[in-house]
Amino acid sequence: MWNITFTFFWRYDHEKWITILLQAIEELSLEPKSFSKMEFNFFWKWSYIEKIKALSKKFPNIKEHGRKDRNHIIDFLKNKTDYTIMPSVFLETFWKTFLESCEIGVPVIWLKKGWSASFIHENLDINAENNEKIKERLITIIKKILSNDWSYNRKIYHQRSLNKAKNFSQQVRIDNFYSFFPEYNLWKSKILLISDYNSNLGWIEKYLQDTQKILIHQWINTKIFWRPLPTGRYTKFLKWLYLCLSWLNIVYFVQLYMILLKEKASHLWFHSTLRVIGRFPIYFLSKKQKILVTYHDLWYFHPFPSLVEQESQIPSEFSLKSFLSEAKNKSLLIKGLVILKFFSLKLIKNQLLRKADYHIVPSDFMVKFLEKQRKVPKEKIIVFPHCSIQ
């Protein structure tokens, strides 16, 4: 039986920096006696699955479980996990799996920045100046946990995780909803949640489904409007094509207009709008409906949000020059795509400034991006934290 069990449950992808964790495990394995007292569990799949499977064949205390449903993972966290490891170095605006771990009292080892800054205890913070230092910091933390260092007592972090997660409960979200929008007669409202794609993989799409469930449970008439996610051989090409052409997407407006005539929605809540929707559906909307927009991630503020590791990387000025500068790519094709994205964003930005009643962000640190880069008045900005469905 292993003394300490660690679990990673997200994409086996460089974007989530699983490489840092795998390198740390390989170094820890060089000390067989202590390494034999640790267990590492992996849930999900993606590009590094073969590497993880190879390690699991080499070491009995490394286990690759594949992709499991949410209930299975939650049960595993409750009964068989001491710590969750999330080594992503990117500036995350919210991470649902992180919150789910905290909700059941499983402490998370991660970087103390962005959305997670208030959650992570300094002893479990792996933030450092570069990836090599992050890996070293992770190894040090794991060794201290194994050594029973009193300052790394799991009970302390267990209770801290539970207490922090209470601020993101479903009931708190419901209470916030009514307090944020007191002038709306929500009981008589019809809310239309609007996004680009319907997908079981994307966080925004899952968030919309959860939000619909919560609002319907409160007897608030709520529906979702989105289009099917492209599938098949040319999926990636089609997604890029839709992104580049979104600024003149009249078809989506016509579809949305027909839905509005049918549903007579009183509130339009936009979520992802860059990938397909574009500016036209917003441009042609009247002021009959209350319009809200949520900025779930950094797509609206940076050409490549998955490259953002620090807040300082977000341009303070919304200009083509700053966007091209942050892209840090000499390819003419990439530069062309960045230019298209910039002008699509510019058109959407102008319409949202004119039409949106509220601009919503899930994290406090994003407020300044709206104020400085997007010139959104402070009184129209709402910090509306996400939550899990449970």
Residue 83 confidence class, pLDDT cut points 50, 70, 90: very high
Q: What is the pLDDT of residue 184?
A: 63
pLDDT digit string, tens, across residues 203-254? 677 788 888 888 888 888 889 988 777 777 777 777 777 777 777 777 777 8
Give kind and range of the element (H or E) at residue 158. Answer: helix 154-165
* Residue in this structure with the two tokens 């190894």, named with its chain if needed: 139
Rounded to whole angstroms, the Cα distance separating 9 from 73 reads 8
Rounded to whole angstroms, the Cα distance separating 112 from 71 reads 27
Mean pLDDT is highest, among 111-115, 193-197, 374-378, for 374-378
pLDDT above 90 coverage of the chain, percent: 18
Mean pLDDT of the residues in the chain: 83
Q: What is the pLDDT of residue 75?
A: 92
Q: What is the pLDDT of residue 38?
A: 93
Q: What is the pLDDT of residue 200?
A: 58
DSSP strand E in the chain: where?
Answer: 4-9, 38-43, 62-66, 83-85, 108-109, 190-198, 221-228, 267-270, 290-294, 358-361, 381-383
Give the mean pLDDT of 48-64: 89
User: Strand order in 221-228's β-sheet?
Assistant: 221-228, 190-198, 267-270, 290-294, 358-361, 381-383
Residue type for 258, please? Answer: M
pLDDT at 308 over 80: yes
pLDDT at 16 over 70: no
Q: What is the pLDDT of residue 216?
A: 86
Q: What is the pLDDT of residue 143?
A: 92
Q: What is the pLDDT of residue 61?
A: 93
Q: What is the pLDDT of residue 176?
A: 79
